[in-house]
Chains A and B, each alone.
Chain A
Amino acid sequence: MSGGENVVVPSDEELAKMSTEDLARLGARLDGVELVEYGERYVPGSPADKAAERSVSKWFLLTAISAVAFIGFFIWWPHEYETVESGRQWIFALYNPLIGLFMGLTLYCFGVGVIAAAKRLTPHEVAVQQRHIGMSAEVDRRTLGAELADTGAKAGIKRRGLLKSSMGVAGLGLGVVAIVPVLGGFIKNPWAKGDESDLWVTAWRPTGDKKVRLVSIDGTPLRPQDLSAGSMETVFPGVPGGAKASDSAVMLIRLRPNDQVTPRRGQAGFEFGDYYAYSKICTHVGCPVSLYEQQTGRILCPCHQSQFNVYDGAFPVFGPATRPLPQLPIALDDEGYFIAVSDFIEPVGPGFWESGQGRTT
C-alpha cells in the first residue's frame, strides 16, 4: 500500500531523455507522493530571491566571524592567572566565559543558518501522499508471519536440542566476556597476606623496635608543648609516604585540663596527659571526621552527620556510625617527640565481615 502501483515506469531510452525535475517528480510519484505544486520559491534573480539569499548567508557569515573570534580569544586573551591585588583579575576571569560565548555563538549561528536555508531557499512544494490508516492489510501480516515461521520450521530449530543449548552457552559466554574486564579489577583477595592484610595493618605499625613518630603534614615531629589546650591537629605516620597512607590519618587532640574523660574498656593509658589520638577515618563509610568541637568534645563527620564523643572513648552518639573511632596508643620517645606505641588495636574505617573477629593469631 505504499502507492505508485499504477505509475508507468519509463523505458531506459525515455529515462535518458528526462530532465532532472522530471526524474525528481517521477521518483516522488513512484513513492506514492503527488507533487501538486513544485518549483523555485522565488523568481530567480528577483529582489525577493536575492533578499532570501542574503538573509540566509548572514547567518553563515556570522558563524565564520564568531569562529574567528573564538580562535582569536583562545589564542590572545590573557589566560594566565592574575592575583586580586593586580587589579586585572577580572580580565583573566573573562577568559572562559568569552571563549564559551563565541563557541556557542558559532554553533548557534550555524544552526539558525541551516534552518533559515531550509525555510527560505529549498523549493516551494505542496505534496500529497496517500497514507493508509491503522495496521497493515491482513494478507501482508499473514504472509510475513508465515515466512518467518516457515524458515524456522524448515531449519528444524524446534527439534535440534543440541543447537539450542549450545546457543544458550554461547550467549552466557558472551555476557561474561563483556562483564569480566569491568568486574575483574574489583575482585581482590583481602587475605592474601594473611594476618599482614592491609585491612589489619596501617603505616603506624612499628618496624622492629623502631616506633613511628607522629608528624604534621610537612613532616615536622610534634612535642607536647606544640598544641594549646582545646586544639586538634591532623597527624600522619612519620614514615616515607606516611602522609599519603589513606588509612593512617590521625587526629591528635589536646583536651582542656579539666575535661572529664571516660576511656574505652582496656584502652586506659592509650592517651598521653591531655593528648588523645583517634583515627580520622569514619567507621561508617570512611569519610574524614575532622569537625572537632572543642567545647562539646564532639567529632562530627560531614558526610552523614555521625558524631563521636571524645569524652567517652570516641563512641558514636548520633548518626549511622556504629563503632567508636579506633584510638592510637601514644607516648613520648627519648627525644620528647610523640610516637605511636603500637599500631591501632582494631581495624580502622568502615566495618567488614571479619572486622569484629580480630587477627587469627
Chain B
Amino acid sequence: MNSPANRQRRRFARRSKAMRRVSGGLALLFALITAGFLYSALAPQAGTAVAAEDDPVAIAAGQQLYNNSCITCHGANLQGVQGRGPSLIGVGQAATYFQVSTGRMPAADNGAQMPRKEPFFNEEETNQLSAFVQTFGGGPQVPSGSLRNDAEIARGAELYRLNCASCHNFTGKGGALSQGKYAPALDEATDSQIYAAMLSGPENMPKFGDGQLTPDDKKAIISYVQNAKATVDPGGYGLGGFGPVSEGLFAFLVGMGLIVGVTLWMGARA
C-alpha cells in the first residue's frame, strides 16, 4: 500500500488540510477587516461639533487665553471674584460666545452695563475660550447650522413683540432700563449672537430657555429681527424707528414749515 501514488495522495490530502486551515484563517481575517471597514463606513459619525469642543488642544489654548485675560475677575477656577466678576461655572458656550464675540468681555471697566465694542479676541480664540468655559459645568450651547426660520417670520414677529419688544423696541432699536442700564440696539447683532443672548440671558436680560422658546421659535425671532433691520425705509430714513411720534413730529414741523414758508414767499411776491 506504500506505493508512490498512495504517498502522493496522502501528501496531497495533508496539504489540502493545511491549505484549508490557511484559507479559512484568511477568510476570517478578510471578513473581520471587511466588517470593520463596513462598520466604520456605516456607523453614525459621533458629532464633529462635540469632537471640536472636546478637542484638548483647543481647551488648552482657551485656558491659556483665560489665564491671560479673564482670571483677574473670574478667578482661577471660574468661581468668580467678589466685587469684580461673577462665577462662570455652568454658564456654557452660549454666554461665553455672546460676551466675547460682541467685545463686551474682556471688560474695560466696571460700569452700570458693559457696552458693545470691537472684539478683543478673533473667532478662533473666542471658540477656544468657549470650549474651555464649557468644560466647567457645561451649560447652554448655540447649535451649529442655519439659525433662521424664514418660513415662520410672522410668528417670529409676534413672539418678538410679546417677549422682546418691551425692552428692545419693536424695530430692535433698544431702550432705557433703570439706573443707567439699557437694552442695547440690535443693529450689529448677528444671528448667533441673538441666539446666544436668548439662551444665556446676558446681564439683566431674562433667559429664554428651550422650554420657553423652542429652537424653532428662536430662529423665527432671529428671522424677524434681521428682516426688520434689512427692511427698506420708504422715506429713505427710519427716524430712529420709533413710529408715529418722531414721524408725526417730522411731518408736522417740516410740512407746516414748508406751507408757512411758501405762503410768506407768495405774500412777499404779490
* A residues neighboring B (CB under 8 Å): 83-85, 89-90, 92-97, 115, 217, 225-234, 288, 290-296, 298, 300, 302, 305, 307, 318
Nearest first, the 6 A-B pairs at minimum CB distance are A228-B209, A226-B211, A293-B204, A93-B232, A228-B207, A290-B166
Write the nearest CB–CB distance from B226 to chain A, whole angstroms: 8
Write the nearest CB–CB distance from A214 to chain B, whole angstroms: 13
- Closest chain A residue, CB of each to CB of B208: A231
> Which residues of the partner chain A approach B181 to less than 8 Å between Cβ atoms?
293, 296
Write the nearest CB–CB distance from B47 to chain A, whole angstroms: 23
B175 within 8 A of A: yes
Instruction: Give the distance in Å from the alpha carbon of A89 to the alpha carbon of B227 in the complex.
Output: 11
Contact A227 B212 (CB under 8 A): yes
Write the nearest CB–CB distance from B42 to chain A, whole angstroms: 36
Query: Which of B204, B209, B235 is A227 in contact with, Cβ under 8 Å?
Result: B209
- Closest chain B residue, CB of each to CB of A118: B270
Write the nearest CB–CB distance from A179 to chain B, whole angstroms: 30
- Closest chain A residue, CB of each to CB of B165: A290
> Which residues of the partner chain B approach A296 to less than 8 Å between Cβ atoms?
178-179, 181, 204
Write the nearest CB–CB distance from A338 to chain B, whole angstroms: 13
Instruction: Give the distance in Å from the alpha carbon of A92 to the alpha carbon of B227 in the complex.
Output: 15
* B residues neighboring A (CB under 8 Å): 150, 158, 162-163, 166-167, 175, 177-179, 181, 183, 201, 203-209, 211-212, 227, 230-235, 266
Instruction: Give the distance in Å from the alpha carbon of A90 to the alpha carbon of B177 in the complex.
Output: 35
Most chain A CB within 10 A, of B183, B203, B207, B208, is at: B207
Contact B234 A93 (CB under 8 A): yes
> Which residues of the partner chain A approach B179 to less than 8 Å between Cβ atoms?
296
- Closest chain A residue, CB of each to CB of B86: A295
> Which residues of the partner chain B approach A96 to less than 8 Å between Cβ atoms?
234
New A-B contacts (17) at CB < 8 Å, excluding given A84-B230, A226-B209: A92-B232, A97-B234, A217-B162, A227-B209, A228-B201, A228-B209, A228-B211, A230-B207, A233-B163, A234-B162, A291-B166, A291-B167, A293-B178, A296-B178, A302-B175, A307-B178, A318-B178
Query: Which of A225, A227, A295 is B203 in contact with, Cβ under 8 Å?
Result: A295
Write the nearest CB–CB distance from B16 to chain A, whole angstroms: 70
Decide yes or no: A230 and B234 within 8 Å by CB, A85-B150, A302-B166 being known contacts.
no
Write the nearest CB–CB distance from B58 to chain A, whole angstroms: 27
> Which residues of the partner chain A approach B266 to less than 8 Å between Cβ atoms?
115
Instruction: Give the distance in Å from the alpha carbon of A89 to the alpha carbon of B208 in the complex.
Output: 32
Most chain B CB within 10 A, of A90, A97, A302, A307, is at: A302
Query: Which of B178, B212, B231 is A231 in contact with, Cβ under 8 Å?
Result: B212
Contact B178 A227 (CB under 8 A): no
- Closest chain B residue, CB of each to CB of A293: B204
- Closest chain B residue, CB of each to CB of A233: B212
5 A-B Cβ contacts within 8 A? A89-B231, A115-B266, A294-B206, A300-B177, A305-B178
Write the nearest CB–CB distance from A17 to chain B, whole angstroms: 38
> Which residues of the partner chain A approach B162 to less than 8 Å between Cβ atoms?
217, 234
Instruction: Give the distance in Å from the alpha carbon of A302 to the alpha carbon of B203 in the complex.
Output: 19
- Closest chain A residue, CB of each to CB of B234: A93
Instruction: Give the distance in Å from the alpha carbon of A288 to the alpha carbon of B167 in the complex.
Output: 12
Write the nearest CB–CB distance from B196 to chain A, whole angstroms: 14
Instruction: Give the distance in Å from the alpha carbon of A231 to the alpha carbon of B234 in the complex.
Output: 37
Contact B227 A83 (CB under 8 A): yes
> Which residues of the partner chain B approach A94 to less than 8 Å between Cβ atoms?
234
